[in-house]
Chains A and B, each alone.
Chain A
Amino acid sequence: MPAFDVETIRKDFPVLERTVAGGKALVYLDNAATSQKPAAVLDAVRDYYERSNANVHRGVHTLGEEATALYEGARDLTASFINAADRSEVVFAKNATEGINLLAYAIGNAAPGSALAVGPGDEILITEMEHHSNIVPWQLLAQRTGATLRWLGLTDDGRLDLSNLDELLNARTKIVSFVHQSNILGTINPVEPIVRRARDVGALVFLDGSQSVPHHAVDVQALGVDALVFTGHKMLAPTGIGILWARRSLLDELPPFLGGGEMISEVTMAASTYAEPPHKFEAGTPPIAEAVGLGAAIRYLTDIGMDAIAEHEAAITSYTLDALRSVPDLRIIGPDTTQARGGSISFAMKGIHPHDVGQLLDTYGVAVRVGHHCARPVCVRFGVPATTRASFALYTTTAEIDALVEGLGHVRTFFGR
């Protein structure tokens, strides 16, 4: 395998050649929102529609068989990418949010008194650094069932506060759901101590890998969690495809979430029996082309190597932290070190609202995200209305970080008051 060369990689991404803001090179630092797509992914989706488009698991005709092979092939690639024990553990959904909702609603559908059912007296544990997609579904489940929602707090340097883990994760806890890598703080959370405690008390552990799976190797068997959700569009694949991985025994036990075609075994007018996982959770025509794109993205990432990608992004993160420290009146919101942190860096500039920072950076071609990043409790925790966030991918260069820092200088000049 050739050595990692960022300039060679950039040539694979057509959008990186375009200019914005009147001829300025695009500096795309909004990868935690969504990644750009390499030609290999775009070609795979186009080839699928041009040659093999058909519905899956239905036709006996050639195109139907090709489409099914491509769709199921993407499942095989995904299973191997996260080291799932079995391909049937990989359920395709529309995004990570749907994956979490699938878990929450399916659990809500569990028969009262069954092992998975939650109700009054039971607890669901999340954390203060969750994306809204890992907060609201659990609030809704708690409201529907009478269960209690609790959460782990954060330390001042943007880490999970595990000092009261044993109190919050206790014999009443049925579900723990937390983020592997924070989209706003960049923090990479320790999974092992939470899984260990959850095993002691018999709670299920769900992990939101939306920001971790695209950036470093994730092995679900090594992590020891019960379920992992992530999304295609943050890992070079198209929008519209998300992944729920769960232990087969859990998928067997979980009632269905959405009902419809494809997820059944036998239907009568009075009742139905359900297909085996994963199809039990894939009602209706699935996102076929999107799955094909996901398969191509996984091939592309695997060819480069997740360890090489992680190493490159760690170097960019380190470079950025150093560079941002040189900007006066800039406060990093989140870990200030490269230790257990990924390439999403949020910051606040004294006296200048993130909306204005982002807007002015855009006039220099620099694309960042501003706002609360669907993690408003984190902003509240750190006393800021919003943050500016720069987030990286395998194609991010140090020159782009230099452009960001230069742009921030212009922001200070323009808005200083």
Chain B
Amino acid sequence: MSQPSFDPLYQEIILDHYRQPRHCGLRDAYDAEVHHVNPTCGDEVTLRLQLDGDRLADVSYDCEGCSISQASVSVMTELVIGKSVADAQTVHDAFLALMQSKGQGEPDEAVLEDAVAFSGVSRYPARVKCALLGWMALRDATARAQAGMRETAEIVTTTEGGAAS
């Protein structure tokens, strides 16, 4: 058996972020911590967010999971750290739309940067939830941080954006 020559799922950018995740590891300073699970495969992420006024000062996370979920959260941190909550939401919305595009999306590279590498993932319904795990956790953490809820939230299952599986 030979190696398949082209795999739209495992793009080089994804493998690079998977092998060398950015901003990885849980850091002590945070305003909200959330724990999300993907019940279909058992992937989990613990994610912390520190706000500085309206700005995402830091996003940290524990580095365990499949390549898609790990690379996705790594790319996400690069995209959103330093951005305002509103700008981060714009990126989030664009990524969610791409993941729901069933392979038909035309991502805006100016908004999504490295995250355009995940276009192929939208063709694999079982993996969309992996790619969205960290993003849904960040959205949850943002809402909690803004509401002043620092303590770890109970397990929240990520279902939005995924196909039935």
Contact = CB atoms under 8 A, between A and B. Distances in A.
Q: Do A and B come from one complex?
A: yes
B9 A359 contact: yes
A48 interface: no
Interface in B1-30: 1, 3-4, 7, 9-10, 18-19
A417 interface: yes
A386 B19 contact: no
Nearest to A371: B41
B90 to A, nearest CB: 29
A356 interface: yes
Interface in A361-383: 363-364, 370-372, 376, 379
Interface string A364-408: 100000111000100100000110000000000000000100110
A24 interface: yes
A121 interface: no
Nearest to B124: A359
Nearest to B165: A371
B1 A385 contact: no
Chain B binding surface, main DSSP class = loop
Interface string A17-47: 0000110100000000000000000000000
Contacts of B68: 355-356
A386 B41 contact: yes
Contacts of B64: 385
A386 B67 contact: no
A372 B127 contact: no
Contacts of A363: 4, 7
A410 B65 CA distance: 20
Nearest to A410: B3
Contacts of B31: none
Contacts of A360: 10
A406 B44 contact: no
A353 B1 contact: no
A414 interface: yes
B85 interface: no
A4 interface: no
B66 to A, nearest CB: 4
Q: 7 shortest A-B CB distances, which residue pairs?
A: A355-B66, A353-B66, A386-B42, A372-B42, A371-B41, A417-B19, A363-B4
Interface of B: 1, 3-4, 7, 9-10, 18-19, 40-44, 64-70, 124, 127, 130
Given A359-B9, A385-B42, A403-B1, 17 more contacts: A354-B41, A355-B68, A355-B127, A359-B10, A359-B124, A370-B41, A372-B42, A385-B44, A385-B65, A386-B41, A386-B43, A410-B1, A410-B3, A414-B3, A414-B10, A417-B18, A417-B19
23 contacts: A21-B4, A353-B67, A353-B70, A354-B41, A355-B66, A355-B68, A355-B69, A355-B127, A355-B130, A359-B10, A363-B7, A371-B40, A371-B41, A372-B41, A385-B42, A385-B65, A386-B41, A386-B42, A407-B1, A410-B1, A415-B18, A417-B18, A417-B19
